Amino acid sequence: MKNKLMAEFFGTFWLVFGGCGSAVLAAKFIATEGATPINLGIGLVGVSLAFGLTVMTMAFTIGHISGCHLNPAVSVGLCVGRRFSANELLPYIIAQVVGAIAGAFILSIIAGGQAGFTTASGFASNGYGEHSPGHYATLSCFLSEVVLTFFFLLIILGSTDKRAPQGFAPIAIGLGLTLIHLIGIPVTNLSVNPARSTGPALFVGGWAIQQLWLFWVAPILGAILAGVVYPIMAGPADAKNS
């Protein structure tokens, strides 16, 4: 268990530091050459890819140690789908949240080295209503987090099924998370991960803390639904495809 929790801590640290770091440090990076500003920012597509790469790289690195959940919703979904022990659920969630906070903490120190930086500008936090990047209403944001987490868990459950092609799960999961970010960043800044939302929110405070409930409830609800649906859709592990 010690090894598993250490892996989940560092894996979730990497997800927040790499994913949120790309949004905070690189999304809108403007370089100046002479008197001419040059936009070298990676934008929405780059940030989406960064989140996918953090999960894919960690899945190859620690998947054999802890399963590479990096996400309380994933742990809950796998538990409901009978792929993960309920006895390990709470320790995993604690390790993930602590790792996310640590990642956000280090990111805040690095970002704070730039004159004028303040976490009050958002710090890659998730939000709804006036704090949604596209100013989407609460219901839209809640529904998007439920649906996108549901499909993320379907991808995880399906690609890690013993009947699926072996060795490719990290690629499917990483690309799946990239696609989910491409869809969801304009709506909520995309969470599908309560730990990822909690880390930055603690450093923003105020509205980010007040709205954090949605980014726990909606992803976990979506994960539970996937944990119920996938076994029904896939059938028994020994069943032959018709």
Q: What is the pLDDT of residue 38?
A: 83
Tokens representing 82 are 């009978």
Beta-bridged to residue 36, according to DSSP, are 33
Q: What is the pLDDT of residue 139?
A: 98
Q: What is the pLDDT of residue 33?
A: 72
CATH (one of 3.40.50.720, 1.20.1080.10, 3.30.450.40, 3.40.50.300) for 2-112+119-233: 1.20.1080.10
How do the domains of the chain map onto residue ranges?
2-112+119-233
Q: What is the pLDDT of residue 239?
A: 54
**pLDDT-flagged residues of the chain (< 70):** 238-242
Measured in whole angstroms, the distance separating CA 210 from the mean position of its chain's CA atoms is 19
Element (H, E) at 183: helix 169-188
Tokens representing 154 are 């379907």
Per DSSP, the three-state class of 206 is coil
